[in-house]
Each structure stands twice: as structure tokens, then as C-alpha cells.
A and B are shown apart, each in its own frame.
Chain A
Amino acid sequence: MRKIKLPSVDKLQAAVARDFRGGLNTFDSPLNLNSKYLIDVRNLYPDSNGKLSLRYGTSPFADVLEDQATTAAINEIVGMEYYAGAIVVVGANGNIVTVDAAGVVDLRWSTAIAALLPGAPSGWSDPITYVSFTQFAGQLIICNGVDKPVTMDELYAMTYVQDPVSGTNTNTPRAKYCTTHDGHLVMAVTPTDTYTVYVSGQGVTSFDPDTGTNGANMDTSIYVDRGVPVITGLATYRDRLVVTYQETILAIQFILPTSAPVEFDVTDIVSGYGAVSHKAITVIGDDMLMLDTSGVISIKRTALGTDFIPEPASSLINTDIQKALARFSNTQLTEYVYSVHDRIAHQILFFIPVIDTVTATTQNDVFVYCYDKSQKFRAWTRYDAMPYRAACRTTEGRIFYGAGTDVRYYHNAYEPRYTDVGTIGEQAWDDGDLWDDGTGWEEGYTETPIAFSMDMPWADFKQPLNNKLSKYLSTFSEGTGSYTVDMYIDQFPDPSLSMFFVQDSGPHGATYNHRPPNNEQLYAWPQKFMRMRFRISGSASDAFSIIAVGILYLTGSVRR
């Protein structure tokens, strides 16, 4: 019997990418990247175990326009903060509400409420464009940069920040930024002064140096050697107050004489680095991350001293961040750009609007820093379809977003949801039964599956000059989702091969024409190439992860 003799070169080889821990990398050439990196990604985040998982969805929590008993309280959310078991939401019209755990909205501050205070003050301006928060002496301090700051106690009663002895707020700065450091309330940037740091007495809200407390003011502009002397943010980091400019970072230590103004010791000046937004500074233990015009930088202390060591944390995606920031003025950066620390997912999300005319529905480029220090893991990814203007985190780690008049809950591993749920009142199939029961067209929530994509770098399988012939495709995923695998070859703009998969929750999901991944059998994938790359894109409404993708291929000669 005649036998077919196969040349030895016709041996199938496998190339599988199953470690995506590198995350997004747009800095290095996509032609020379390791397969653990991605050259583009949307709504998938890398884990320390190497897989890519779908981000969580959001659902409505409260409508701050709709639910309060008095007249419309919030016309558009400017900022929000978690305090004393409630979410404190500040509106552009200068009103403040709280949202409790049940989603009940209560008006806490308005011109009418302010008018009931001694002296019948007029309340906050309308509109305001900025707000910052800090918790001081058990109370929540809220600044807007235009009006006198206000304070909320744990029963949500509000008044102005005032000197406890004189009972006035004459010396309280109309600050834009506030923080708490070493027992002092610290404020900066008023309508007339952009570089003085105002420090209250320790434990008291007195900003009058003559009242016997140790409050004091400090001109920090003298330490700035580059750029406009406008403070861009305040933060507390260990025993240092951190004051940021666009290109300078100051570390200030308080020295506290008894019954005398606090003395300031500038222990470090980091030039060449800064922060663009007070709202985009995050402290994680011994690491402080802030958004600089050149990208996200990390501030650490030296091992044996107290000096700061700045280092780029986003060097792999700096160009993308720079492009995203480039469209804004300095003032817009302080108002529109913010970050939120998701402690449950070990992620810090940096929100940058995609256009400079920002409205309640403007989408964001969300750059996500994923970390796990115990695993020595850190990587970047990118989310979209998150058009939110403000965010806050509860003490339990839950994240809430705000935009327009909607407060939305960002789900997490403990309360997972993988769709972006619309607002109530939109029509949906929501009676719990399928349409075949003849009912179901009721008011309910719409649910939008989360679209995702990932673009892998070019691969030549360490034989850049040899022709390759792919024969079979293999994908591994888990959860439930559908996606398309595209293969691009030799830098042609359009995919040469494309195949759609449906990942069901069953072992193989082998239903008609579903083309399930994770199959021990083969999917033909014939294509000749020298370099190739994969793009995977799809959507999911449930937990979904991409574990691996690979091909079986033959290596040929250098001649086509």
C-alpha cells in the first residue's frame, strides 16, 4: 500500500498566549512586544493570574432630582463623597443632598436652609463648577472655591465652617481644595490667592492666627521654580502635607509649638513632577499616585529617609494619557479629571472626558491602574462607556458614580453585575417571563451588555523572516459572552480571518451554530503570513474572562 511521506518541516507547532498580565502597552512598538501586553483594550482588566476579565456593570441607585420632598435639589451633580453612612451629593446649583443606604434622598443644604442660620446668609452660589471634600474632627468639610466652606455633622446638619470661639467665618478661606493633615484642616486656592496654604488650629476650624490656636498660613509659591504658581492639589501622605503644582511637588512637615502658630518645614521639593487635579490624587499605603501632565506618577519614600522618590507609574501608556489630557485647559483639568480607588478590585480609575465641552453625558477615557502588591503585579487597562462626572467610595469599598442627577452603583466581586442598567421608566421585558406568556411589556430597567475588545501585539514566533501557515485556532474563555476573533497579518489594515464564538455557561455550550470555544476539537484557521496579531471583540452580560488564544501553525521557508 502506498504511503504518503511527509517532509519533517510539516510539523504543527503551537503558539498560545495565556498570560495577559502585562496589560495595556502603547509605548513600545507593537512589532516587538511580548504577548503578555495588549496594544489596545476596552473594558477588560488583567488579573495577577494572567487572565483578562470583564469589568463590572453599573445600576441606578438614586435620582437626586426626583426623590426629595422639597423643590428640585440637584440640577447636575458636581461632586460626591461618602460620609456617615450616606452619600453626600453636591449640585451645580449649590444645593447638597444625602442619599442613604436605601437610596432615599434628603435635601441638606440650599439657600432656604442657609437663610435659617444666624445672620441669614444667602447660601452657596448658583452655579458652582467645583467641589472638594475632607473629613475633619468627625465632620465633613465641603469647599467650592467660590463661597465660604460648609460643614456637615454626622446627623447631616449643616452650617458654615467657622471659628468655634468667635462664631464667625471671616477668616475661613473661600478655598477650592481642602484636606486634613496632622489634625489640621488645610485649605488652598481662593478666588484671590492661588498659592497660600491655610492651616487651621489643630482640632479646631479656626483660621485666625490670633485666636490662640496654632493655625497659620504659608506662601508656597517661593518653592515653585517652573510654571504658574497655582496650587493644583492637596493631600496628606504619612506625616507630610503634599502640596502640588503642575510641575512641582512640595512635602511639608508641621512643627507644633504649644499655643503658637504652626511652623512649616519644607522637607522635600520635587521639581519636574506635579498634579493636574486635586481629585486625581490617590494615596495607597506607602504609595501616592497622581495624574501629571506627562502621565500618572508614583511618589514613594526612600527606604531609609523621608525624601520623596517620584517615578512614572504609567510609562507604558503615557502617550495615551498625554493625548487625553492635551485637549483641556488647566482649569478644565481641575474640574473634569478625577480618580477613584476601587479597593475591592485593587484598581485606581482615572477619568478623563473625551471632549472638552463636558456635559452630564460626556463619555470618559478611563485609564485603570490594576495592582496587587503581594503578587508584585501592576498593569494598565482602559474602560469606556462610563459617562460619569464624579465618584466616591464607601467605607465598605463600594463605588458610586454620579452624572446629571443619577447616582449609580458600580458593582463588584461581592455583588456582581455585568451590564450597565438603564434608568427606570424605560421599557423592557421585565416581568420575569418570556414574551411567549403574552405579557411583559412593562416599565422596567434596560440592561446594556458591556462591550469589550483586546488587541494583541504582532507575533512572528521568533522566526521573523520565515513564512508561516496557520492551520487551526484555539480560544479559551470562561463565563458567558460572545466574541469575534480577528486575525490581522503582515500589517494589512483589514482582518484576513474572522470567526465568531459564543461562550455558554455549559461545559462546551454546544448548541446549534454557536461555535463554542474551549473545545478539544479544532477550528480550521488557514492563513499564510509572516507576522500576525489577534483582535478579540464582543460583549457580555455575565461574568466573562478570556484565558488564552492560540494557533497551530506550520513554519515554511523565507520564500513566499
Chain B
Amino acid sequence: MAFYSHSDLIQRTVIRLRQVAGPSTQLYAEDAIGMLIEETYELVRSRRWWDNLTKWETRQLDGTTGLCTAEFVGTREGFRDVDRICYGSNSTALPLLSSNINPYRLTGTSPRYVEPLHASDDVQGWAPAGQNLFRVWPLTAVTSTAYPLRIHIRLDPVDLFTDPSVTVPFDASCIINGAAAKYAADDGTNPATVTMLQQAFENRLQQLEQQHDSAKLILDPRMNDPSILNEWAESR
């Protein structure tokens, strides 16, 4: 099923639950269903680095605090939304700072380690205003236009769930059945109906995961020329 806006998802879930449909008709169910849709979206969002939710962002370091000069907008799970951070044209990701390294002895201007920010040092939760997420050691590390930080990160569309007209970027039938199962489980509905909704949700999610996992991937990043096929390239 296609992607739908939050308000459309609410209405379709209302219908799925055999409630009377119509904008603002369900005074006391629409908010609850809207939150269950968001909860279901968070659940499925974290299951994979979904293609349609991840992108490469480019940032510059400020050279003094290890922070990027521009924040990340649309994160939902903080640093857990970051897949990998590369420096310049390197394919190898910068490693996380280990606690057995004293970072303050690190010097120089080349980025070497990434440290997720402490909870009190960054905006927490879903932050439309943006988050810094991490800092790079040594703190004096610098980047340039030719050699920026490149961050593979999972981001939501702007104003997702705060503007009901914004499209929720995930399969609608999966989210509708997931939200409906949660709602139905709470209101004494026929157990068979709850089970059916839950199974519909899980089956669809499993199907999407299988689709995602069967995509053609290059297995050896050193062989990055797709015109040269060798035993390190995955094929069906």
C-alpha cells in the first residue's frame, strides 16, 4: 500500500476498527489512534535501515568543540538514527570512541573518533529544532568542502506527526493493521479480530523486511565499480 498522511492513516484505521468514519467524527478515538500510528511507525522504523528513511548528510566540523556546524533535523532516536559517519572520500566509517582511550590526549586536525553526546549535552527525543547527536575527536579536527563529514542517517520528514497532512513514509497497510491491533487489544474486541489484525501487521512487516533484505548489494566495498562483476557481487 502506498504512503498516506497521518490524517489519512487515522481515518483508514478508524474504518479498519469498524468505527464511524469522517473527519473529526471520532472525538475520542482519533487522538488515541494517531498516537498508536506514531508508536507503530517508531516500531517498524527501527527494524531496518529502510532505504526510504536513510540518506547521506554532509556536515562541517567547527574545529573547536568537535560539533558539526549544522544540526540534524528529523531524528527520532538520537544517535541510534546514525548508521555510519565517514570522513571525506573514505568508505571506512569513523569508529566510536572507546572508554579505554583518553580522548584528551588526542591531538591533530583529522577526525579519528566519534563520541555520542551525553543526554544533558543535546536536545533529547524527537527534535524538530535539530540535534547535534555526536562530537568528533580530536575536538580540533577540521573538515573542508572537499573533505566533509558524510553521515548516513535515518531522518523523518519535517513536521511528521505534528502536521497531520505530512506523509508518513512507511507502508500504510502495515501501520494501519499495527495500530488497529493495539487499539483493538485494549477495548475487549473479539480476540480473533485482535489476532487477525496483529497477524496482518506482522505478516506485512515480515514481507517488507524480506523485500528490503533481498535488494542487490555490493558485498565488497573495495570492488565499487558495478561494471566489474566478480564473486564479491551479490546477484539473484
Q: Which residues of A contact B21 (CB under 8 A)?
A: 521
CB-nearest residue of chain B to A508? B20
Known: A4-B198, A515-B22. A499 touches B27 (CB 8 A): yes
Q: Which residues of A contact B20 (CB under 8 A)?
A: 515-516, 519, 521-523
Q: Which of A5-13, A167-175, A298-306 lies at the interface with chain B?
A: A5-13
CB proximity to A under 8 Å, residues B182-198 = 185, 187-189, 191, 194-195, 198
Contact mask B18-47 → A, CB, 8 Å, 1/0? 111111111111001000000000000000
CB proximity to A under 8 Å, residues B174-216 = 181, 185, 187-189, 191, 194-195, 198-199, 202-203
**Interface check A358, CB cutoff 8 A:** no
- How far is B25's CA from A512's CA once the two chains are assembled, in angstroms? 9
Is the pair A513, B187 in contact by a Cβ cutoff of 8 Å?
no
Contact with B19, one of A4, A11, A516, A524 (Cβ below 8 angstroms): A524
Is the pair B191, A6 in contact by a Cβ cutoff of 8 Å?
yes
- How far is B21's CA from A516's CA once the two chains are assembled, in angstroms? 11
**Interface check B17, CB cutoff 8 A:** yes
**Interface check A413, CB cutoff 8 A:** no
Is the pair B195, A3 in contact by a Cβ cutoff of 8 Å?
yes
Contact with A471, one of B187, B191, B195 (Cβ below 8 angstroms): B187
Known: A521-B19, A522-B17, A523-B26. A12 touches B187 (CB 8 A): yes
User: Chain B contact residues (Cβ within 8 angstroms of A): what range?
Assistant: 20 to 34
CB proximity to B under 8 Å, residues A470-522 = 471-472, 497-499, 510, 512-516, 519, 521-522
- How far is B25's CA from A514's CA once the two chains are assembled, in angstroms? 8
Known: A3-B195, A497-B28. A12 touches B189 (CB 8 A): yes
- How far is B185's CA from A524's CA once the two chains are assembled, in angstroms? 14
Closest Cβ–Cβ distance, residue B27 to chain A (whole Å): 6
Is the pair B28, A526 in contact by a Cβ cutoff of 8 Å?
yes
Is the pair B26, A513 in contact by a Cβ cutoff of 8 Å?
no
CB proximity to B under 8 Å, residues A524-548 = 524-526
Is the pair B25, A515 in contact by a Cβ cutoff of 8 Å?
yes
Known: A1-B202, A4-B194, A515-B20. A524 touches B26 (CB 8 A): yes
**Interface check A554, CB cutoff 8 A:** yes
- How far is B193's CA from A12's CA once the two chains are assembled, in angstroms? 13
Contact with B28, one of A2, A525, A552 (Cβ below 8 angstroms): A525
Closest Cβ–Cβ distance, residue A76 to chain B (whole Å): 49
- How far is B186's CA from A6's CA once the two chains are assembled, in angstroms? 9
- How far is B186's CA from A471's CA once the two chains are assembled, in angstroms? 9
Contact mask A453-480 → B, CB, 8 Å, 1/0? 0000000000000000001100000000
Q: Which residues of A contact B26 (CB under 8 A)?
A: 523-524
Is the pair B29, A524 in contact by a Cβ cutoff of 8 Å?
yes
- How far is B192's CA from A6's CA once the two chains are assembled, in angstroms? 10
Is the pair B28, A554 in contact by a Cβ cutoff of 8 Å?
no
Q: Which residues of B contact A512 (CB under 8 A)?
A: 22-23
- B23, B28, B185 pick with most chain A CB within 10 angstroms: B28
- How far is B202's CA from A498's CA once the two chains are assembled, in angstroms? 36
CB proximity to A under 8 Å, residues B151-187 = 181, 185, 187
- How far is B20's CA from A513's CA once the two chains are assembled, in angstroms? 10
B interface majority secondary structure: loop
Is the pair A6, B19 in contact by a Cβ cutoff of 8 Å?
no
Is the pair A471, B188 in contact by a Cβ cutoff of 8 Å?
yes
Closest Cβ–Cβ distance, residue B19 to chain A (whole Å): 5
Contact mask B130-165 → A, CB, 8 Å, 1/0? 000000000000000000000000000000000000
Closest Cβ–Cβ distance, residue A449 to chain B (whole Å): 23
- How far is B18's CA from A498's CA once the two chains are assembled, in angstroms? 21
Is the pair A513, B24 in contact by a Cβ cutoff of 8 Å?
yes
Contact with A521, one of B18, B187, B191, B198 (Cβ below 8 angstroms): B18
Q: Which residues of A contact B23 (CB under 8 A)?
A: 512-513
Is the pair B188, A522 in contact by a Cβ cutoff of 8 Å?
no
Closest Cβ–Cβ distance, residue A461 to chain B (whole Å): 14
Closest Cβ–Cβ distance, residue A509 to chain B (whole Å): 11
Closest Cβ–Cβ distance, residue A528 to chain B (whole Å): 12
Closest Cβ–Cβ distance, residue B193 to chain A (whole Å): 11
- How far is B187's CA from A523's CA once the two chains are assembled, in angstroms? 12
CB-nearest residue of chain A to B187? A471
Is the pair B18, A11 in contact by a Cβ cutoff of 8 Å?
no
Closest Cβ–Cβ distance, residue A513 to chain B (whole Å): 6
- How far is B27's CA from A515's CA once the two chains are assembled, in angstroms? 10
CB-nearest residue of chain B to A471? B187
Is the pair B199, A522 in contact by a Cβ cutoff of 8 Å?
no
Is the pair A2, B22 in contact by a Cβ cutoff of 8 Å?
no
- How far is B181's CA from A512's CA once the two chains are assembled, in angstroms? 27
Closest Cβ–Cβ distance, residue A403 to chain B (whole Å): 41
- How far is B55's CA from A76's CA once the two chains are assembled, in angstroms? 85
Is the pair B181, A4 in contact by a Cβ cutoff of 8 Å?
yes
Is the pair B188, A4 in contact by a Cβ cutoff of 8 Å?
no
- How far is B21's CA from A3's CA once the two chains are assembled, in angstroms? 28
Is the pair A3, B198 in contact by a Cβ cutoff of 8 Å?
yes
- How far is B26's CA from A552's CA once the two chains are assembled, in angstroms? 15
CB-nearest residue of chain B to A555? B188
CB proximity to B under 8 Å, residues A1-54 = 1-4, 6, 10-12
Is the pair A513, B25 in contact by a Cβ cutoff of 8 Å?
yes
Closest Cβ–Cβ distance, residue A483 to chain B (whole Å): 15
Is the pair A554, B18 in contact by a Cβ cutoff of 8 Å?
no
Closest Cβ–Cβ distance, residue A273 to chain B (whole Å): 51
Is the pair A6, B185 in contact by a Cβ cutoff of 8 Å?
yes
Q: Which residues of A contact B199 (CB under 8 A)?
A: 1
- How far is B202's CA from A11's CA once the two chains are assembled, in angstroms? 24
Q: Which residues of A contact B17 (CB under 8 A)?
A: 522
Is the pair A554, B188 in contact by a Cβ cutoff of 8 Å?
yes
- How far is B32's CA from A517's CA once the two chains are assembled, in angstroms? 22
CB-nearest residue of chain A to B17? A522
Is the pair A522, B185 in contact by a Cβ cutoff of 8 Å?
no
- How far is B19's CA from A522's CA once the two chains are assembled, in angstroms? 4
Q: Which residues of B contact A4 (CB under 8 A)?
A: 181, 185, 191, 194-195, 198
CB-nearest residue of chain A to B28? A524
Is the pair A522, B18 in contact by a Cβ cutoff of 8 Å?
yes
- A1, A12, A512, A524 pick with most chain B CB within 10 angstroms: A524
CB-nearest residue of chain B to A517? B20
Q: Which residues of A contact B28 (CB under 8 A)?
A: 497, 499, 524-526
CB-nearest residue of chain A to B29? A524
Closest Cβ–Cβ distance, residue A8 to chain B (whole Å): 10
CB-nearest residue of chain A to B191? A6
On B, residues with C-beta under 8 Å from A are: 17-29, 32, 181, 185, 187-189, 191, 194-195, 198-199, 202-203
The 3 lowest CB-CB distance pairs between A and B, nearest first, are: A524-B29, A12-B188, A471-B187
Q: Beyond A513-B23, A554-B188: 9 further Cβ-contacts under 8 Å?
A: A4-B194, A6-B188, A12-B188, A499-B27, A499-B28, A512-B22, A514-B22, A522-B18, A524-B26
What are 6 A-B contacts defined by CB distance under 8 Å?
A4-B195, A10-B188, A499-B27, A512-B23, A513-B25, A515-B22
